[in-house]
Homo-oligomer: A and B are copies of this chain.
């Protein structure tokens, strides 16, 4: 199957998932409305902005990743489906954080941040799984211009033969797992700071395009 079909289906799922984040905002102000009520709902706005940008950045990276794929098989489709299952679930921990971050019980916000981290670990894991699968089947599945990248060592990935095979989002599994620990044992706020840093990292750092020698447009 041509990879374009899978991409356009994924695009639809990303578009719906990013748009229904607005339901996090809607419960505000069922009763009396004033500037104070609006201001006290700031965790809802923050959660909306962070999750919107996170899903948006993941959409961009999904395209970069699929730009290296020529043809999908059923294994790739299932891996992509599992990746989308994590992305679609993201509004759930977003809503948990929006509701419980400023709640009376500290532990409610922490539990919410743990769930957020767990979903992100799952997403990062399946990004990596697709990448590894693609490297292992580079000849049959990879785009022609991506073969050097898929076979070789991605530029700028640093040290050693192992690390060089881990794409930049490889640190996501590790980073978000650390965030979960911070959420569970330190505080929800500290965990959110970790997640924010990781989002900024992915905004500026990304998988090189097949040319590999420059951060190509859209790469």
Interface on A for B, CB 8 Å cutoff?
A: 1-2, 5, 8-9, 11-23, 25-26, 28-30, 32-35, 37-38, 48-49, 52-53, 56-57, 59-60, 63, 67, 71-74, 77-78, 81, 84-85, 88-89, 91-92, 95-96, 99-100, 103, 105, 107-108, 111-112, 115, 203, 206, 215, 217-219
By secondary structure, the A interface counts as: helix
Closest B residue by C-beta to A78: B203
Report the minimal beta-carbon distance from A144 to chain B, rounded to whole angstroms: 17
- 6 A-B residue pairings within 8 Å (CB atoms): A16-B16, A18-B84, A25-B92, A32-B108, A33-B112, A34-B108
A81 contacts B56, CB within 8 Å?
yes
Tell me, in angstroms, the Cα distance from A112 to B100 when the chains sit together.
Answer: 24
- Please state the number of chain copies in the assembly: 4
Q: Do residues B81 and A53 form an inter-chain contact, with CB atoms below 8 A?
A: yes
Residue pair B28, A96 in contact (C-beta under 8 Å) = yes
Chain B residue nearest in CB terms to A87: B19
A74-B60, A77-B218 in contact; A19/B88 too (CB < 8 A)? Answer: yes
Rounded to whole Å, the gap between the CB of A123 and the closest CB of chain B is 14
Point out the residue from B8, B19, B35 that lies within 8 Å of A17, measured CB to CB.
B19
Cα A107 to Cα B111 in complex, Å, equals 33
* Cα of A79 to Cα of B84 in the assembled complex, Å: 24
Partner of A21, one of B57, B88, B217: B88
* Residue numbers in B under 8 Å from A18 (CB-CB): 13, 84, 88
In the complex, which of the residues B9, B17, B218 contacts A1, with contact meaning CB atoms closer than 8 Å?
A: B218
The CA of A83 and the CA of B78, in the complex, are separated in Å by 22
Q: Which residue of B lies closest to A118 (CB)?
A: B38
Chain B residues whose CB sits within 8 angstroms of the CB of A25 once the complex forms: 89, 92
B71 near A217: Cβ-Cβ < 8 Å: yes
**Option from B8, B63, B85, B103 in Cβ contact (under 8 Å) with A52:** B85
